[in-house]
């Protein structure tokens, strides 16, 4: 009923009376009123004017699978979207349903209370500010190649950000997306696999969309679309665009492997052509010169020796005017 009511309100350009809603949906006026309140609780702004009826403010900043699905142009990516207002982590919700879910199923929310970064780090996911989404994939690849799926997702985010906001986004290898030297998006990929075969991959993507203020520890390293563009963005549009871009890139990846998207990835990668500091047991400095067909970063040491760096093994720091980001 709630969904039908939302659909109806979305179609209406003008006010619609409770009576007419009741007639069109075949329910009582009390039921209409109850569901209007339920939608308001979800965050929808619905005006009510005596003798006129109800009108939905189409700019309500609410993540709505309904709204996304309406204009989504994909075959499988996001064809099923599960939304919860609050979860611990969308990756964890995906894990619970991954076995029985079709490829492309997505879980999103308004707030994560236990958002996860890599290596046990925390991903801040406050209410109403970002796109916190995880997507279940079932690629027919070996577990060794899964890190390339994350690179594909990074490329999809980068394109999405450019398309939606016009901002100059770039990928910091392997898959963080940066704008103006600050982190806008992080990706956490988790998988379940046998020795030779992947059961499923969960790609968790966090994009700071409308964050106005960051906690002190992130103030100088994080940004949002809002802090950089000074306007708020429709999170439904971001999700729709992301799902479409990702399907496009993931299809190519599935058919031909990472080499099919390698040059597109390199174009967006901000490390390439710049000094990098590889942080590992045998850490070293050099110049990033590209990525190979497995998605590994190729770094040329000052001695001329070329070393490939496997994502997950090390973190990379970009040397930026003397500093590192």
- Taking the complex as a whole, how short is the minimal distance between the CB of residue 152 and ligand BT5, in angstroms? 15
- Hey, what are 23's tokens? 């007639």
Task: Please tell me whether residue 123 binds ligand BT5 under the rule CB under 6 A.
Answer: yes
Among 35, 91, 241, 271, contact with ligand BT5 (rule: CB under 6 A): 91
**What are the distances in angstroms from CA 140 to CA 146, 201, 250, 319?**
10, 11, 12, 37
Name the segment binding ligand BT5 (CB under 6 A); options: 8-16, 202-210, 243-251, 303-311: 202-210
Among 16, 54, 65, 116, contact with ligand BT5 (rule: CB under 6 A): 116
Task: Please tell me whether residue 186 binds ligand BT5 under the rule CB under 6 A.
Answer: yes
d(CA 277, CA 284): 6
Q: Which is nearer to ligand BT5, 56 or 106 (CB)?
A: 106
Q: Which is nearer to ligand BT5, 79 or 124 (CB)?
A: 124
Residue 308: HSE in the Cβ half-sphere, 13 Å Cα cutoff: 7
Q: Which is nearer to ligand BT5, 115 or 290 (CB)?
A: 115
The SS3 assignment for 68 reads: helix
**Contact (Cβ atoms closer than 8 angstroms) between residue 232 and residue 178:** no
- Hey, what are 127's tokens? 């209410």
Q: Which is nearer to ligand BT5, 73 or 113 (CB)?
A: 113
Among 44, 54, 83, 132, contact with ligand BT5 (rule: CB under 6 A): 132
- Hey, what are 117's tokens? 């970064």
- Taking the complex as a whole, how short is the minimal distance between the CB of residue 134 and ligand BT5, in angstroms? 5
Name the segment binding ligand BT5 (CB under 6 A); options: 39-47, 122-130, 144-152, 246-254: 122-130
**Nearest C-alpha neighbor of 187 from the set 205, 207, 169, 170:** 205
CA dihedral 89, 95, 96, 98 (to 10 degrees): 130
Q: Which is nearer to ligand BT5, 14 or 216 (CB)?
A: 216
Question: Which residues 96-115 are close enough to bind ligand BT5 by CB under 6 A?
Answer: 112, 115
| Residue whose entry in the numeric block shows the structure tokens 């890190």 | 147
**Contact (Cβ atoms closer than 8 angstroms) between residue 233 and residue 217:** no
Task: Please tell me whether residue 317 binds ligand BT5 under the rule CB under 6 A.
Answer: no
Q: Which is nearer to ligand BT5, 132 or 265 (CB)?
A: 132
Name the segment binding ligand BT5 (CB under 6 A); options: 30-38, 98-106, 124-132, 154-162: 124-132
d(CA 290, CA 259): 12
- Taking the complex as a whole, how short is the minimal distance between the CB of residue 112 and ligand BT5, in angstroms? 6
Question: Which residues 142-181 are close enough to bind ligand BT5 by CB under 6 A?
Answer: 176
Among 84, 95, 183, 252, contact with ligand BT5 (rule: CB under 6 A): 183
Number of Cβ within 10 Å of residue 247's Cβ equals 21
**Nearest C-alpha neighbor of 129 from the set 233, 268, 242, 257:** 233
**Nearest C-alpha neighbor of 241 from the set 321, 163, 147:** 163
Length of the chain: 325
d(CA 145, CA 32): 51
Give the per-residue contact string, 215-244, with ligand BT5 (x = CB under 6 A; - = no): ---x---x----------------------
d(CA 280, CA 277): 9
Chain residues in the site for ligand BT5 (CB under 6 A) = 89-91, 112, 115-119, 121-125, 132-134, 176, 183, 186-188, 204-206, 208, 218, 222
């Amino acid at each position: 009923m709630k969904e039908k009511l939302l659909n109806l309100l979305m179609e209406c350009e003008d006010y619609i009376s409770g009576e007419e809603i009741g007639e069109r949906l075949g329910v009582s006026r009390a039921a209409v009123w109850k569901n209007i309140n339920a939608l308001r609780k979800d965050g929808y702004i619905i005006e009510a004017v005596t003798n006129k009826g109800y009108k939905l403010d189409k700019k309500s900043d609410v993540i709505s699978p309904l709204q996304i699905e309406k204009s989504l142009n994909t075959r499988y990516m996001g064809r099923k979207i599960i939304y919860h207002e609050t979860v611990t982590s969308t990756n964890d919700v995906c894990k619970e349903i991954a076995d029985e879910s079709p490829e492309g199923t997505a879980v999103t929310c308004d707030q994560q209370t236990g958002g996860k970064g890599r290596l046990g780090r925390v991903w801040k996911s406050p209410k109403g500010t970002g796109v916190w989404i995880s997507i279940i994939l079932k690629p027919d690849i070996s577990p060794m190649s899964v890190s390339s799926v994350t690179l594909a997702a990074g490329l999809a985010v980068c394109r999405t950000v450019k398309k939606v906001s016009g901002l100059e986004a770039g990928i910091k290898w392997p898959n963080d997306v940066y704008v103006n030297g600050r982190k806008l998006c992080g990706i956490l990929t988790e998988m379940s696999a046998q020795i030779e075969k992947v059961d499923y991959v969960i790609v968790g993507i966090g994009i700071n969309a409308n964050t106005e203020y960051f906690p002190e520890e992130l103030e100088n390293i994080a940004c949002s679309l809002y802090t950089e563009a000074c306007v708020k963005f429709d999170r439904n549009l971001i999700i729709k665009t992301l799902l479409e871009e990702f399907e496009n890139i993931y299809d190519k990846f599935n058919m031909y492997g990472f080499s099919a998207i390698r040059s597109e990835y390199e174009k967006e990668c901000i490390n390439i052509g710049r000094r990098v500091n590889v942080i590992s047991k045998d850490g070293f400095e050099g110049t990033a010169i590209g990525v190979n067909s497995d998605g590994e970063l190729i770094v040329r040491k000052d001695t001329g020796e070329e070393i490939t760096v496997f994502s997950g093994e090390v973190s990379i720091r970009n040397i930026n005017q003397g500093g590192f980001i």
